[in-house]
Amino acid sequence: MSKAKILFVFYLPSGGMETLNRQRCKALTKYGIECHLLYLQNGTGMQNISQIPTYITNNDAEIKSIVLNHFDAIFVCSDYPMLQRIRNFGYTGKLIYEIQGLGSYKNAEKILSQAKSIILKHANGILIPKTEHLLSLVNQLFPSMDKHCFHNCFDSTEFGYRIKPRLPYPVIGWIGRLELNKNWDDFLMIAMRFIKQKPETKFWMFIDDTLSNPHEKTRFNNLLNRYKLTNHVTIHANIPHNQMADYLSMIGDSGGFLLSTSKVEGFGYAVIEAMSCRCPVLSSDSDGVKAFITHDVTGKFYINENIGSAVAQGMELTEDLELRNKIINNALNHLALFNLDTYAMEFSRILK
C-alpha cells in the first residue's frame, strides 16, 4: 500500500479513546501509514503519548491549518459537528465518522439521530467496532452508507502481566469515570455486600477525576460514608497508563478480580487490559464486552443491576480456583483476536 497520511480527531485524550488512538497509531505506522492526532482540549492521557504528532486546539484558524495539511483521510470520532467544520475549512479528502461508546442504546440512538443529516452530507463512510447495538443502529439509520466494522486493536506485547510483590488480602478493582453509565453506585453496593462475606477484601478504584462532575463526586463521597466503606476503598486518581499493568497484575495475583459495572460499553479497554495481566473479570452483561467475555470461559457476567448475582459470581471467582485458572488462561489466549496486524489490514481497506 502506498504511504498514506491520516488524522484522528476526538474531544480529549482520556480513557479508552486515548488508548485506542495510541495503539492503532502503532499498528498503522508499521504498515507505512503516517498518523496524527487532534484533540480539542487537554486531558490526563497526554502523559501517555510519545512519538505521535499530536495537536491540542479548538481554535478554528489552527484547526483549519491542521486539516489542510494534506491528509489522505480524517477520522472524526463521536463529535459529529466537527464533520461540518472540517468541510467548511475546505477539506475535500476522505472524511470518516467513527462511532465508539456513546453510552446506552437510547443515548446512542439519540445522538446518531441528531447527527444523521450532518453525517450523510459530509462523511464518506462510517467506522464502528464489532458491537451489536451500534451496528444495528447504524444499519437502521444509514442503510446505504459505506460502513466498516471490525474489532479495535490491543497490543498485549506492550501491556501485560508483571511480577509484583503479593498482597496479603484480595483486591477487587474498578476503572472508570464517576458518571452514570459507568454505574459506580453498583460497585459500592457490591463492595458493601462482599465485605460481609469476605471482610479482608480491599477495593481499588482507578478514576480520572478531571472528568467527573462535582455533583457526582459529592454523591460518591456521601455513599462511601453511608456504606461505611472509607477504610475499604482506595482511590487511585489519574494513574499513567503504563503503570496500570502493575496494578492489574497485583489484583490478579491477590486472588481478586476486576469488576466492570457499566450499563453499556462500546468496547471496554479496561476489560481486555485486565485479561492481559492475568486478572480475571466480572462484568455487567454489557454489549461491547461480549467481544471478550464468554461466561465461565474467558470471564464472568452477572445479571445487570442485580447486586446479589454480582456478589455470588464474585465469590465463585475468588473461591473456585479451578474455574478461576481456566478463565485466566482462556482469556489470555483470546487476546490474539485483537492483534495490531489484523487491525492494520482491516483499516487499510478503508483507505483503499
- Given a cut of 80, whether residue 158 has pLDDT beyond it is yes
Looking at residue 1, its pLDDT comes to 43
Identify the residue with better confidence: 269 or 261. Answer: 261
Q: Has residue 84 been placed in a domain? A: yes
pLDDT, tens only, 183-232:
999 999 999 999 999 999 999 999 987 767 888 899 999 999 999 999 99
- Given a cut of 50, whether residue 331 has pLDDT beyond it is yes
Q: Has residue 352 been placed in a domain? A: no
Q: Has residue 351 been placed in a domain? A: no
Identify the residue with better confidence: 352 or 114. Answer: 114
Does 201 share its domain with 138?
no
Report how far apart, in Å, the C-alpha atoms of 20 and of each of 97, 100, 177, 219, 241 are: 16, 10, 17, 30, 12
pLDDT, tens only, 43-68:
888 888 889 999 999 999 999 999 99
Dihedral sign from CA coordinates of 185, 238, 101, 286 = negative
Does 110 share its domain with 194?
no
Q: What is the mean pLDDT of residues 118-127?
A: 97
Q: Could you identify the residue written with the cell 464474585? A: 314
Does 325 share its domain with 210?
yes
Q: Has residue 158 been placed in a domain? A: no
Domain end call among 149, 179, 195: 149
Does 182 share its domain with 284?
yes
* CATH number of residue 267's parent domain: 3.40.50.2000
pTM for this one?
Answer: 0.84
Does 104 share its domain with 235?
no
Q: Has residue 45 been placed in a domain? A: yes
Closest to 340 (Cα-Cα) out of 45, 35, 109:
35
Does 205 share its domain with 123?
no
Looking at residue 40, its pLDDT comes to 96
Query: 68 — phi, psi (to 5°)?
Result: -90, 20
Q: Could you identify the residue written with the cell 461505611? A: 228
Does 240 share its domain with 325?
yes
Does 115 share its domain with 16?
yes
Total number of domains in the chain: 2
Provide the domain limits for residue 122.
4-149
Cβ–Cβ under 8 Å, residues 332 and 16 = no
Domain end call among 149, 181, 205: 149
Q: Has residue 9 been placed in a domain? A: yes
